[in-house]
Amino acid sequence: MPAAAHSHLGIGKVAARSGFAVSAIRHYEELGLVHSVGRKGTQRVFDRSVLRRLAFIAAARNVGLTLAEIGQTLEGLPTDKAPTPVDWSRISEPWKARVDARIEELNTLRKSLDDCIGCGCLSMTTCAMLNPQDVAAQQGPGAPWVL
């Protein structure tokens, strides 16, 4: 078998190796996030580098990027080879601020949980869980959310 044939994987193998469902890989191909290199019979075949692109998609999803944002990011990368470490460093840099913001949000949520212990939900007007930043105060005095 020629060496080039070894660098191609059927969609089932790509799914098994990447952890993505075949349907997800097809969907990502429809969106232009990954590209097949042709067909072997009726089956799509992909270059092995698609595994790195799929790993990139998984990482981006874990950071919270939408598929549209992932598509915009991948537009700057070649489709016929895996992203390099330099590519990865360049495109993941803006994600750090996003992760830091999520960490801050989670820390605030955690503090709110600590503050709730023993309150018995008696402070609905100032509760950081039910009424973050006291948005209920904008609706006037009283308990606007009590039915």
In this prediction, residue 147 carries a pLDDT of 47
* Residue 109 counted as domain residue: no
How far, in whole angstroms, is CA 22 from its chain's centroid? 18
* Residue 46 counted as domain residue: yes
68 pLDDT above the threshold of 90: yes
* Residue 28 counted as domain residue: yes
Two tokens, residue 34: 């990954």
134 pLDDT above the threshold of 70: no
Phi-psi region of 64 (alpha: psi -120 to 50; beta: other; left: phi over 0): left
Which residue in this structure is represented by tokens 């007007």? 125
Count of domains in the chain?
1
* Residue 20 counted as domain residue: yes
pLDDT band for 38, please (50, 70, 90 cuts): confident
Count helices and strands in the chain by DSSP H and E runs: 6, 3
* Residue 124 counted as domain residue: no
* Residue 131 counted as domain residue: no
* Residue 36 counted as domain residue: yes
CATH number at residue 8: 1.10.1660.10
Contact, 72 vs 56, CB < 8 A?
no
| Residue 74 structural domain | 3-94
21 pLDDT above the threshold of 80: yes
What is the sign of the dihedral through the CA atoms of 95, 27, 35 and 48? positive
Q: Is the pTM of this model over 0.75?
A: no
